[in-house]
Amino acid sequence: MSHTVNHTHDPRLRSWVKSSNPGQTDFPIQNLPFGVFKRRSNDDAPRVGVAIGDQILDVRACDKANLFEGEAKAAAAACESLSLNKLMSLGEDEWSGLRSRLSLLLREDNNEVEHHKQIIENHLVPMTEAEMLMPVEIGDYTDFYASLYHATNVGSMFRPDNPLLPNYKYVPIGYHGRASSVVVSGTGVKRPHGQTQTNEGEPPTFAPSKLLDYEMEVGFFVGPGNKLGEPVAIERAAQHIFGLCLVNDWSARDIQRWEYQPLGPFLAKSFATTISPWVVTMEALAPFRTEAFARTAGDPAPLAYLQSPTDQEQGGIDLTLEVCLASRQMREADIPPALLTRGNFRDMYWTIAQILTHHASNGCNLRTGDLIASGTVSGSSKESRGCLLELTWRGTEPVQLPGGETRRFLQDGDEVIMRGYCERAGFARIAFGECRGMVLQADGV
């Protein structure tokens, strides 16, 4: 796995798109994430775009204007699609070629730009005029459990004597999620009904969940897949990863508690999973790669198929994650969203390469567009706990909201806003935009 920092990361680069100056935006020229949008104003078809400042560049339109050639051309042609899947299926050379060319076309100190600038400007759509759509057709969605802190916290609530199961430090634990109910940021999330048991030994009731939670996660999208029966060596894992998004894996803790034995979480999760609309490429993230989680002295080494010196050195990603909450009352009182959680993706016990390689280690075929999420990202400190279950310790320590409210779990009207950003001295800050969702009242209440 190599993460070469190249000219597209140069912090001195500026775009002639003025709103994209580093520090003013999540989307400077060093980022260039991909998404799918349509104009709000008409019955526009979905199209692939790249974020730059507060604008979206229509890649297909630029291709039709003959602004690409070579690998960039092949990648741009793959953007003539209703999703990112075709682009993601190509591979690192094409992705890098397209990103490099986009960087060139958008930078201000480039003579070629003067020639093309008018054309490109015609194909910039202000984000305020665009609706962001699901960026990817997801075949399978898998969710992991890769934070040792999260696993230990949750384990100690439910199994105080035995918080961490014996397999945890050997197996990147994961489970299949529900692909159909993955929705894009901004989609309302209706509080689910489900079976819950109030008192042990008593019959359950079927009612709206009372213990609704968010889970702050990071997801990656599979680029080229692997064939059924053909595992992916960890040294080649990076070639199969296109980029990252933010994931809110909404969870109904009361439903989960009653249903999850012996086959794992099911309806407690499958009512909705929200992802951010912009997919940040692995190339854009290259400057923020960092060493993998530092295992403590007593920890076992990963089994050989999960070991790679390069992955150990730079399998981590220094990506700060935040969750804010805005209640209905706060919105009505013009109180800005309150920060609940701030954590970092580098705190995960397993790297994304280990996760991908493990997933395919039995020959399971990963397909272009599959979404693989990390599991809740929690760190060692209280403020870095990535869900309310942990933050409020099962509701026993409610969080205070500005305006006087408290929260054990989510209430109707609560909007959960996730953000993610990468910062490093000597590099431009890049970020993921937002992953938002508001809790809507359950049916028939």
Binding site for a second copy (CB under 8 A): 139-140, 145, 155, 165-167, 170-171, 173-181, 183, 190, 192-195, 197, 200-201, 203-206, 228-229, 231, 252, 255, 258-268, 270-272, 300, 303-305, 358-359, 361-367, 370, 443
What sign for the dihedral angle of Cα 394, 395, 397, 403?
positive
Answer whether 9's CB lies under 8 Å from 416's CB: no
Q: How far is the CB of 184 from a second copy (least distance, A)?
A: 12
Q: What angle do CA 124, 126, 131 make, to 5 degrees?
A: 110
Q: Which residue lies nearer to a second copy by CB, 60 or 269?
A: 269
The set of residues, in sequence order, having a beta carbon less than 8 Å from that of 324 and lying 6+ positions away, is 337, 338, 339, 340, 416, 417, 418, 419
- Phi, psi dihedral angles at 53 (to 5 degrees): 60, -130
Q: Which residue lies nearer to a second copy by CB, 71 or 259?
A: 259
Q: Which residue lies nearer to a second copy by CB, 68 or 271?
A: 271
Q: Which residue lies nearer to a second copy by CB, 1 or 255?
A: 255
Q: Which residue lies nearer to a second copy by CB, 116 or 178?
A: 178
- CA atoms within a 13 Å half-sphere pointing along the CA-CB vector of 95: 25
Joined tokens for residue 129: 């005029």
Catalytic site includes residue 115 = no
Q: How far is the CB of 416 from a second copy (least distance, A)?
A: 17
What sign for the dihedral angle of Cα 19, 276, 60, 77?
positive
Spatial distance between the Cα atoms of 144 and 251, rounded to a whole number of angstroms: 14
Q: How far is the CB of 364 from a second copy (least distance, A)?
A: 4
Q: Which residue lies nearer to a second copy by CB, 61 or 416?
A: 416
Q: Which residue lies nearer to a second copy by CB, 126 or 229?
A: 229
Q: How far is the CB of 255 from a second copy (least distance, A)?
A: 7
The DSSP line for 323-351 is: EEEE-HHHHHTTPPPEEEEEEEGGG-SS-
- CA atoms within a 13 Å half-sphere pointing along the CA-CB vector of 312: 10
Q: Which residue lies nearer to a second copy by CB, 25 or 374?
A: 374
Among residues 9, 150, 240, 359, which one is catalytic? 150
Q: What are the start-end ranges of the H helices in 260-385?
A: 282-285, 309-314, 328-332, 352-360
Q: How far is the CB of 258 from a second copy (least distance, A)?
A: 6
Distances (CA, A) of 83 to 133, 191, 192, 367: 9, 28, 29, 14
Q: How far is the CB of 187 from a second copy (least distance, A)?
A: 8
Q: How far is the CB of 329 from a second copy (least distance, A)?
A: 24
Q: Which residue lies nearer to a second copy by CB, 86 or 367?
A: 367
Surface-to-core class of residue 313, CB atoms within 10 Å of its CB (0-12 exposed, 13-18 middle, 19+ buried): middle
Spatial distance between the Cα atoms of 430 and 421, rounded to a whole number of angstroms: 6
The DSSP line for 15-41 is: BSSGGG-TTS-S--TTT--EEEEEETT
Q: How far is the CB of 123 from a second copy (least distance, A)?
A: 33
Spatial distance between the Cα atoms of 321 and 318, rounded to a whole number of angstroms: 10
Q: What angle do CA 188, 190, 196 make, to 5 degrees?
A: 150
Spatial distance between the Cα atoms of 309 and 289, rounded to a whole number of angstroms: 14
Answer whether 70's CB lies under 8 Å from 94's CB: no
- Phi, psi dihedral angles at 314 (to 5 degrees): -140, 30
Q: At what angle do helices 70-78 and 92-106 cross, to 10 degrees?
A: 100
Q: How far is the CB of 94 from a second copy (least distance, A)?
A: 23
- With CA atoms as reference, report the closest residue to 326 among 424, 414, 420, 219: 414
Catalytic residue list:
150
